[in-house]
Chain A
Amino acid sequence: MIDPTPFRRCLRLLFVATSLSFSLGASDWPTYRGDYARTGVTVDPLPDKLAEAWVWKSPNSPQPAWQGEAKWDGYNKVFDMKPRQIFDRAFHAVIADGHVYFGSSADDKVYCLDAQSGRERWSFFTEGPVRLAPTIADGRLYVGSDDGCVYCLESKTGVVVWRTRATPKDRRIPGNGRLISNWPVRTSIVVQDGLAITSAGMFPSEGVHLIALDAKTGKERWRQIQTDLPAQGYLLASKSRLYVPAGRNNPAVCDIADGKRLRVVEGSGGTYALLTGDMLVFGPGKTGQLGAVEEGQTDQLASFQGHHMIVTATRSYLHSDTELSALDRARYLEIARQRRTLSAQQSAIAKQLKKLGEKPENEVARLKLKAELTALGTKIDSATQAMETSLVWKVPCRWPDSLVLAGETVVAGGDGGVVGFQARDGSIAWQLPVSGHAYGIAAVSGSLYISTDSGSIHCLRAAPTRADADKNP
């Protein structure tokens, strides 16, 4: 049974998270990181012991569009700058109805594998690299390609239902080493309320098209053209909002009903993002920080040293280059909000102070404002320190490439392996090898599907028991 849509799944998970009930299962992972909030959470628990069931290997490894950031910012003396455009270093898999689907940036194809055996069921050629995972909804697969087209295929057969060029013109030029569309589709497809929403375009000067197509027919419903930002990365969606990652820049927030821009949030840029309730968390910026912005706001409520985050009703799990930590989410947010209020007051008073200028007659008022500023500064410092008390646990983690939560296991992917951490205390439950960096993890019904930068997809599931072995000598 295919889950209706990733959005409904997202709602269900939110319900699960907020109601603190973990009785519901999520049998599919129909879009990147499971849902349009990109939570990376499934309530399905993992077995205690996992083993590799099968591995699918691409003849050629993924061909990411971008090599990475500069090595250093000489002017600001910032070293070890983080790549802000990590979305296509592996063939990210989605899973629905017993099948595994993914697109390939190496051979331009979309693949369907049998989830049980790993055998190929069908494949379909697009005319350019497929950089982002497809979306499965209502028995159909939706995917975009660097060829500038959006494809809707029957998920069981790979037969084309419709194909729509995302821009009026078909112009193909060399881009990232391939002859591709001037307007490649480099965001995922959000399928919601009968619409398939995506974007096409790289260079704002050429027009970056945000489009909604009829999910059944592929006919255009609305189109907005950005001239200031590209669109690259996985789109996020709530019932009313569409969040459009902009490559190295900060995401734009749009009205999902018509695609009109509401605002661009503040931050240090990056294509990693997740939506938690009404809050957008994104990064990693230049130094590996995630920023959290609340609905209706542009400025950041809080920032976290790390590049992935998992959020549940009570906990936030934060993943950095070297550590994995669990935070008391409610406490952290409460203090962060207090701190933001104090910061806003501080800014307002600083402005007043500036307005007073240096005139001698304003000396008394100046002194009063300065005293208020000092007091606020102390409160802000205290709040900053208090935020640290929300830490529940922290453990070293040398698997920094990906992170999901499956039941009570936090699964981290890194160079040559994936590791399961116990959510309760951060202890390591198990560790398994994979080939290459594990940039993608999908978790469904006790199985993990690990996508690596070597072009492999590893299926890990319950290790065979002695009884199983006896049955299958």
Chain B
Amino acid sequence: MNWIARTLHPLWILGVLHTTAVFGQAETGLIAHWRFAPEHQLGNKVKPLFGGPDVTFDGPVRFTKDPLPPRVELPGQNESLRVAEDLSKALLPVRDMSAEAWVRVDRPMRWGGILTVIQDNGEFERGWVLGFVNSNFSFGLASETARKLTYTTAAAPFETNRWFHVIGTYDGTNQLLYVNGEIAGQSREQAGNLLYPPKAPVVIGAYQDDDEHHRLVGAIHEVRLYRRALAPDEIKTRYEKRRGDFPEPAPTPKRLELAYGPFVDWRDRSSAVVTWETDEPMPTRLELEAPLGAKRVLGSGMVSKRHEVRMTDLRPNLEHGYRIVGPSTDGVGLQSRRYVFDSSFYYEPVIAPGAETARTMSSTFEIAQCILKQTGVRDGYCLVLGATDGGLAVELVRQSRLDVVVIDSDATRVAAARKTLDQAGIYGVRASVHLAENAELPYGDLVANLIVSESALVSGAPPPFGASEVSRLLRPVGGSLVMGSSNAGARSQRAKWVTWLKAGKLESATFSDRDGLWIHLERGRLEGAGEWSHQYGSTDNTSCSQDDLVQGELQVAWWGDPGPRPMPDRGNRNPAPLSVNGRLFVQGNRILFGLDAYNGAILWSLSAPEVRRANVTRDCSNMAAAGNRLYVAHGRYCLGIDGQTGERRHRFEVVENTSPGAFEWGFVAASNEWLIGSRQKKDAHYLGDDGEWYEDYSPEQISRVTSDRLFSLDPESGAVRWTYRGGVILNSTITIADGMVLFLESRNPEAMAAPSNRLSHEQLTDQYLVALDLRTGKQLWDKGHDLSACQFMTYLVYSQNTAIITGTDKDKKYHTFAFSAPAPNRPGGDDLESAIPGRLLWSDVHKEDKGHHSGHLQHPLVVGTAFYSDQRSFDLTTGKLLRTDLPERRGCGVMSAAKNSIFFRHYFHGMWDLTTNKRSQFEGIRTGCWLGLIPAGGMLLAPESSAGCSCTHAIQTSVGYVPKSLVKR
């Protein structure tokens, strides 16, 4: 390459001379000509070859001519190239104009700019922009007549990493875009003088106005601006004269499709391990982009299917780009898509000094070890009731991930404990000491994962706080109390403990006198608490958790991370959070979180850049939870993640994966007995990467994601139990209840033969409601029905032998169809009409009630025998309209329900009490634009989902609410 550069260099000099002679000062109408060659750079300015003004640059730009052509390399970070801060200082064309550039774009983007002077703020559209839209060059402008921007865009996409000659011209009537000398787009919507905004910067290499700043990733050789429209033949000549100066791009690397991963697991604050797998053994490495653009290639490049690389020296709180690169063949590289790892998202507790070094096996060390081992508690909050010197807290911190709070009523002991913890380097960040002001403990109920007593270790007696105070603090589903002493006289205190426990109604505690006297108690589930294990509550899709506790007045129980930064934009209709077994699972933007549902402690996080799904309105979630496991669909696999630790313990492969990489895991549902999945062709899912709102009636937004196989696996062994092969299954309708799997499928041969599993509703004709036996996968019955009115979306919910299909047509009318769907083992009543499978029980058509913010996309819910849809409720089995006076819900989300309340976004987190018919809301905090409020475990859980909202909602955080009726404090 170097010899080529040396050889070409004199030609470039000749080229420059030639260009100047031909197009230089003699050029008619030329306003300015900037060439971004190192020799024209002076300080942070680039001097124009002709005209002016200077271009001022800032940020990590790089001027180079090695290899040719001379250019400025733009990383697309925080750089800027400004012709003028404001257009008033630039000599801009009045009407006729041409903007010309030699440019190389390395990354397509929604709005890209090459030379721009623009304001596009709502309806205020002024100026012009030579740039690109996604992968297509474009030229947009506003004239005094049209007073809005119109774009002419090249039909053919540009190739990244290749040099292009791009010109936009306008002569007062005709707006033309030229790419490589040819007309690529034309518009005649504008007329008259250019319409400029009062204020706008004139910039190169970015699309910038008051609201937006999108920086080009690539390089620019030169830019010219004219006050005349260059003629087509003139443009062609210019292109032909220079095209030889721009080398062909290096061969585009082939896409390396990973078989599995990548996943990033933190090791410490500055290092993390990336793992991935390839289908074939090959040497791969990881190319890491530091935040300022420097690249490092990591890994040994060993030939293997499984690969692991440690990223070190990660700077905190910055985005790091990376990709997996494989071996070159025939000079063509192999690389994965580019991923981003954000080192802000580090949620591990501060490591106590001394935690990882050898320690004296003190009795306190052993006691802490024994407590943690016996209870299995490792995360969350630990209360130490009664202090001596804080030593137990130090050991608990060193041996676990707990945040420890010591409380005592004696100021001297409190001071001593503080000193111990402070000297251990953990005060505040891992442990703290509170002075009790009275016999009542100040903490909110259900908060503690572990309660112990340091004073009891010495005295052998119960702590100086009542057992009733202690019992209310234990977190349900595993919160543990362990107290006692190994002292010789400890056993003599048994009577005191019995009395203490009885006063707190903790008689179920067990005693152990093998080594002194120890008391152990583990709190079980809250009676009446429900779970939210799947996208719409459970696999019946009723959006009701059956939680009997979440009702009445609620209060904040906890708040904290994750905040908005790791979350996807609110409007992408993202998968709902889930909560089972006292845990809360949240899907961020390619990052997963496990939290303690009762105190918000982050149990784990996992950066998984291939885990992403949006527009679940037309698809299904990629998550399900059952028991202690979270299932996550990931490429061709479904992962079984340990809900407590985040470890990836199981991996299930999609059935009939006949060609590696051809199919993906679609639907996922799980119980402790089965795992149901679906197979679909690769890349059918929506990803929401371009800020789509998925609210409009367009094929890009409303096409359904479908599957061609439905199957059941053993969740332990992974053995396939059955596979269903029928029509094209609509993912949004798969419903499991009462021993049945229900769904809608299209039997249109065209849909079944389509190369993609993302299909328009026009393709999905000939629809059938199908019921399978959950145990065997055998078809129980099917029923064809005309569901063509369900155009925006199609939902299916099941409750009490009734399957209800809902959708809206393009005029936003709701169409509802209720079918009899008797459970296979339904006792008696076979003479009833409702016992005939697939019989239409009732239907309804009505215009959406809300008229804005997804009013036409509402997912229904079922509470008791009432079917709630839009702002109405119907009798589930008869269709009788029960009420139309449901409170207005202003926001863009959908409803969720418990037995006694409905939750939704009004302006803020909103709640509607079904017993009092009163609406309330929690001011200052909002949810996202799908399902973000889930009632489970006696709590209302609202992980942050408003991210991206540029509104001034005062608080963006995850929060858990608890009913006041359930707690004392």
Q: List A residues at the B interface (Cβ < 8 Å).
A: 59-60, 63, 66-81, 104-109, 125, 127-129, 170-179, 182, 202-206, 227-230, 246-250, 267-269, 286-287, 321-322, 380-381, 384-385, 388, 394, 396
Contacts and interface: CB of A to CB of B under 8 A. Distances in A.
B952 A60 contact: no
Given A72-B948, A108-B432, A206-B555, A322 B350 contact: no
A199 to B, nearest CB: 13
Contacts of A203: 556, 559, 922-925, 955, 959
Given A71-B565, A203-B922, A287-B211, A248 B955 contact: yes
A101 B953 CA distance: 33
Given A79-B213, A179-B432, A230-B924, 5 more contacts: A70-B565, A79-B212, A170-B437, A173-B447, A179-B447
A198 to B, nearest CB: 18
Given A249-B952, A322-B80, A182 B556 contact: yes
A464 to B, nearest CB: 34
A172 B444 contact: yes
Given A107-B429, A173-B447, A206-B556, A268 B924 contact: no
A179 B947 contact: no
A321 B955 contact: no
A381 B954 contact: no
Contacts of B428: 60, 63, 104-109, 129, 178
B211 A78 contact: yes
B599 to A, nearest CB: 5
Nearest to A181: B442
- The residue in A72, A174, A178 that gathers the most chain B C-beta atoms within 10 A of its C-beta is A174
Interface stretch (B369-377, B567-575, B819-827, B871-879): B567-575
B344 A68 contact: yes
B405 A75 contact: no
Contacts of B422: 107
Nearest to A66: B563
A80 B44 CA distance: 24
Contacts of B85: 388, 394
A171 B86 contact: no
Contacts, number: 216
Given A75-B691, A108-B427, A228-B923, A127 B565 contact: no
| Pairs A-B, 6 closest by C-beta atoms | A74-B691, A74-B569, A70-B947, A107-B428, A381-B198, A249-B954
Contact of A67 (B44, B561, B955): B561
Interface string B20-49: 000000000000000000000000100000
7 contacts: A77-B691, A80-B213, A127-B432, A202-B955, A249-B954, A385-B88, A385-B198
Contacts of B405: 179
Given A70-B947, A76-B211, A108-B432, A175 B692 contact: no
A70 B429 contact: no
Tell me what chain A mostly uses at the interface: helix, strand, loop, or mixed: loop
A368 to B, nearest CB: 21
B955 A230 contact: yes
Interface of B: 44, 58-59, 78, 80, 85-86, 88, 110-111, 198-199, 210-214, 344, 350, 381, 403, 405, 418, 422, 425, 427-429, 432-435, 437, 442-444, 447, 555-561, 563-565, 567, 569-572, 589, 599-602, 688, 690-693, 921-925, 947-950, 952-957, 959, 969
Contacts of B570: 74-75
Contacts of A396: 44, 58
A59 B425 contact: yes
A250 B952 CA distance: 7
A77 B111 contact: yes
- The residue in A69, A109, A203, A388 that gathers the most chain B C-beta atoms within 10 A of its C-beta is A203
Nearest to A123: B422
Contacts of B427: 107-108
Given A104-B428, A174-B600, A76 B950 contact: yes
Contact of A70 (B199, B350, B564, B599): B564
Contacts of B952: 248-250, 267-269
A66 B443 CA distance: 23
Given A229-B924, A396-B58, A74 B558 contact: no
Given A70-B948, A174-B600, A204-B923, A182 B569 contact: no
A81 B950 contact: yes
Contacts of A202: 556, 559, 955
Contacts of A178: 403, 428, 432
A63 to B, nearest CB: 7
A283 to B, nearest CB: 12
Contacts of B433: 125
B784 to A, nearest CB: 39
Given A173-B443, A322-B59, A72 B569 contact: yes
A77 B207 CA distance: 12
Given A107-B427, A174-B560, A385-B198, A228 B432 contact: no
A284 to B, nearest CB: 12
Contacts of B350: 60
Contact of A73 (B59, B556, B948): B948
Contact of B563 (A63, A68, A108): A68
Contacts of B957: 66, 176
A60 B425 contact: yes
Contacts of A104: 428
A127 B381 contact: no
